């Protein structure tokens, strides 16, 4: 995984965002996002750190760019190419 998601990864993240955004308001709740980030295999503390980094507006809901960044960071953390400490 590179520092920047590829077009293929972004398409995958977009599909996942659409499936996760159950009320179609273009935002994913903190709980939903953390559940998805946790599927990457990182622990609960790392999930919380990732969410804190990407929730740039502090609204506890993520738009697609924030969500995609969070998924990519969680994937990099799992792969050992990003340290959440």
Taking the C-alpha atoms of residue 30 and residue 28, their distance in angstroms, rounded to an integer, is 7
Q: What is the mean pLDDT of residues 12-19?
A: 97
Taking the C-alpha atoms of residue 83 and residue 85, their distance in angstroms, rounded to an integer, is 6
Mean pLDDT of the chain: 91
pLDDT > 90 in the chain, percent: 81
Q: What is the pLDDT of residue 1?
A: 59
Q: Please tell me the pTM assigned to this model.
A: 0.88
Helix (H, G, I), strand (E, B) or coil at 55: coil
pLDDT(32) > 90: yes
Q: 42-53 in b/e burial notation, b at 16+ Cβ within 10 A?
A: beeebbbbbbee
* Strands (DSSP E) found in 7-79: 28-29, 61-62
């Amino acid at each position: 995984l590179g520092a920047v998601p590829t077009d293929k990864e972004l398409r995958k993240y977009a599909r996942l965002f659409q499936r996760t955004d159950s009320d179609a308001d273009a935002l994913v709740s903190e709980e939903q996002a953390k559940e998805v980030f946790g599927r990457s295999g990182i622990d609960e503390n790392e999930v919380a750190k990732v969410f804190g980094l990407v929730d740039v507006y502090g609204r506890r809901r993520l738009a697609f760019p924030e969500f995609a960044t969070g998924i990519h960071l969680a994937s990099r953390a799992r792969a050992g190419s990003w340290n959440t400490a």
